[in-house]
Structure 1
């Protein structure tokens, strides 16, 4: 169940010009006989040389498409722009889709350091230190491609964001509660979106994955995962336990994770079926909250979660995103005593349209009902 359940996807003229697979490429040529003004994105065209030698490519753009040199010369002569693949990168800056867990964790059996996820983080660490403008451009192109793919994926979806810290360990009641939350949201027809990392984020994605199964599945999965409570000291053992759950119960429910290599020491969790991973944390943070139009649940967390509360409150306060996003804060003692964000949030909301869209609940199991209540 890897598809995001959405209403009919709206028509977007810009997306309609994009060709993102070889099947799309062949279909467009069969139907129109032309590539004029198309954007061909990360499609391997090495087997389409004869077609490319004679096709109308006026105004077309080829982004990271492997092709024979004679084909590249021909389409340039026909009026196309060709941005060739960049050799030696551990990622594709022109990618047409978000990541999957299997893609980021390929070669996990050889150790986490051998995975594309770890290799991309290592590249990021090297290049951000030397200030290479070419590397900066590649990161920006990659992140824009991921944003475009995420927009296409989530068009029309009722997305609920679940925010919380990475320190929440498997095997705890807090983790189990976050998983139940994700399951109930998914069963209610929402698409669960998280920061894509460990802890509370993983738990919510796990719950969404468990949604199509009987309730006993989640209980058993929690026991299996508890044998590797944290991604430290071994990311491999932690991720391996997640893939063991996925293998035992294949075909789980879909959800989205939006992590970042900026926090590359926090690996992505394997329960988000779709992973929109960014280099730029600010782009990732704003994008996660902006796409959570059906509401945001804030579990107990530290500085990062506090930042997310007020990052989300600001457009609600000014009305810059239209109707205010419902906000549910979970754990009264945490948000009124330990980190008293709730009094400030309530003071900001007083007398504004967002006031009716914020609530504080003490139990995590009350969050889905509270979300429905403040949505009206």
Structure 2
């Protein structure tokens, strides 16, 4: 989400073995999965249409179809969010790697925003632990694509389509220190949990020094002025302990259908 160019890999320069399926990138074990036939679409002769709102609706629809089709059978997943500006070798980078390893050991796939920094660290930790590493990227003028540790990746044009995938296909968030993008994803989740649009969705804030002032503001300003309920402080958990973060984030595991026709 940030503007630091920290060795991310473009779609056109993927390390082997890798496969592409439209906007989806598949690497390592994921690249061995058999893919459906690719559909080729001819560009409309009247190019004015591709700049119209109806055409944009079709592109938005295609992003949802791509995301739903790719992630529907992902299984239990936890999202790890954090800054794209987190540097390799830093304590926060190592913490993201470790948290991802712990999640894989608990049987979860790890999903990130697919970029550099803390996202790269979490994807790296998942791969090195032998787990599923997922990245949902976003088309930005200052990003060059998904990081090299993403095994199953999708690049989105639209933030709202991408955020829908984060919330639909994960069972919880672990949020490391980050910037506006991280805050956006955090408060989107908090709003949906508060309004009961999603239920049983653990949200963990990792890093008391970073997140503590925000928690104090929620308690001393929002709750004090009555703009949120006092119980809303319980919508998330604050910790500095990776094991505790994983324990809280994985506290709810949905039942996975085992038979045909089960929803």
TM-score, normalised relative to structure 1: 0.50
- 1:173 and 2:200 are equivalent in the alignment: no
1:325 aligned partner: 201
Answer whether contact 2:77 2:108 (CA < 8 A) is retained. Answer: yes
Structure-2 change in CA distance of 1:349 and 1:161 (3 Å): farther
Answer whether contact 1:198 1:269 (CA < 8 A) is retained. Answer: yes
Greater Cα offset, 144-153 or 172-181: 144-153
1:161 aligned partner: 79
Answer whether contact 1:306 1:341 (CA < 8 A) is retained. Answer: no
Give the whole-Å Cα distance in 2 for the aligned partners of 1:306 and 1:289: 15
2:231 aligned partner: 351
Specify which structure has the higher proportion of helix: 1
1:200 aligned partner: 118
1:21 aligned partner: 36
Give the whole-Å Cα distance in 2 for the aligned partners of 1:2 and 1:143: 29
Specify which structure has the higher proportion of strand: 2
Query: Of the two, which has the highest radius of gyration?
Result: 1
- 1:260 and 2:138 are equivalent in the alignment: yes
1:107 aligned partner: none
Deviation of the 1:3 alpha carbon: 4.3
1:307 aligned partner: 184
Gaps of 5+ in 2: 1-27, 255-263
Answer whether contact 1:183 1:207 (CA < 8 A) is retained. Answer: yes
2:239 aligned partner: 361
Pick from 9, 29, 32: which aligns with 1:2? Answer: 29
Answer whether contact 1:326 1:358 (CA < 8 A) is retained. Answer: yes
If asked which structure has higher relative contact order (CA below 8 Å, sep 6+), I would say 2
Structure-2 change in CA distance of 1:144 and 1:272 (3 Å): farther
**May I ask how many residue pairs the two structures share in their alignment?**
215
TM-score, normalised relative to structure 2: 0.70
Q: CA RMSD in A?
A: 3.2
Answer whether contact 2:78 2:249 (CA < 8 A) is retained. Answer: no
Q: Deviations over 1:150-209 (max 9, x none)?
A: 223322511211111100011212111101111111221111111111101111111111
Runs (4+) off by over 6 Å: none
Deviation of the 1:268 alpha carbon: 1.6
Where do 1:39-118 residues align within 5 Å?
42-43=38-39, 64=40, 84-86=41-43
